[in-house]
Structure 1
Amino acid sequence: MNNIRPYRHKVQYYETDQMGVVHHSNYIRWFEEARTDFMEQMGMGYDEMERRGIVSPVLSVEADYRRMVYFGESVTIETKIREYNGIKMTVEYEIVDDKTGMVHCRGLTKHCFLNSKGRPVSLKKDFPDFHEMFVNAPGMEQKK
């Protein structure tokens, strides 16, 4: 699973303001795009989670904007799971300019796992295959 590639994104015109600068809200969308891609590469996309009755709402989002990104530029979004305990997880992101290698934004999202009725789910107990996937995810620092 260590061969997960980072997510790449080319800035679109609609993502920018009149000065050609990416609007801050789009970084949060890029986090979601990168997280979705990351999970699909690990073997469990949101479609599979939901098919099995699991939803994973966002509990909180943080973004540290360091530099502006402009229309037409391309960025790579490095994604990793920072913490995971079977019930909650924190995903970390770093948005890097493809040409300069400079970091433009760092952020994280916190999630929990719920069943279709909105009740907390323990992946460790109820979905051990998914639990193992997260425990063995690249960059995972949490104890097994």
Structure 2
Amino acid sequence: MAYNHTVQYYETDRMGITHHSNYIRWMEEARIDFLSQIGWPYNKLESLGIVSPVINVDCDFKKTTTFADAIEITVRVIEFKGVKLKLSYEMKNKDGVVVFTGTSSHAFLDIEGKPIRLKQSFPEFFGCLCELIE
């Protein structure tokens, strides 16, 4: 599933290059969009009492990006075991050159911070994520 982002001026540093911290923000933007695209928007999850904190992020910066660059971000489910979800991200510029790859891992917790077993508590969401594993 793809998400498009245009690099904003405020996301760049004095050298005109995107500051590295923004790539993690873009991962989150793409992840939220991904959940909406698969029919499970984050606000729906929260209304069901599900929160999904980030427990790990891994980033590999390949090429720099600059103001006004169009970035396509592809999100894929690479691992899911019911309590922990691992997503991969690939970011490409308008020329199709990979500028960034990364992963993020997430837990599924209730509002009190206790792990949720999605297979038992939310089988439709569990099944949806299982179908997307690549």
* TM-score normalised by length of structure 2: 0.98
Map 1:1-144 → 2, pairs under 5 A: 4=1, 6-98=2-94, 100-137=95-132, 140-141=133-134
CA distance in 1, matches of 2:43, 2:115: 19
SS of 1:35's equivalent in the other structure is helix
Q: How far is the alpha carbon of 1:121 from its aligned partner?
A: 0.3
Cα RMSD for the two superposed structures: 0.8
Q: How far is the alpha carbon of 1:93 from its aligned partner?
A: 0.0
Counterpart residue identity of residue 27, structure 1: Y
Q: How far is the alpha carbon of 1:28 from its aligned partner?
A: 0.2
Q: How far is the alpha carbon of 1:118 from its aligned partner?
A: 0.5
Counterpart residue identity of residue 97, structure 2: M
* TM-score normalised by length of structure 1: 0.91
Sequence identity (%)? 43
Gaps spanning 5+ residues in structure 1: where? none
Deviations 1:112-142 (A, max 9, x none): 10001100001011100110111112xx13x
Runs (4+) of structure 1 exceeding 2 A deviation are: none
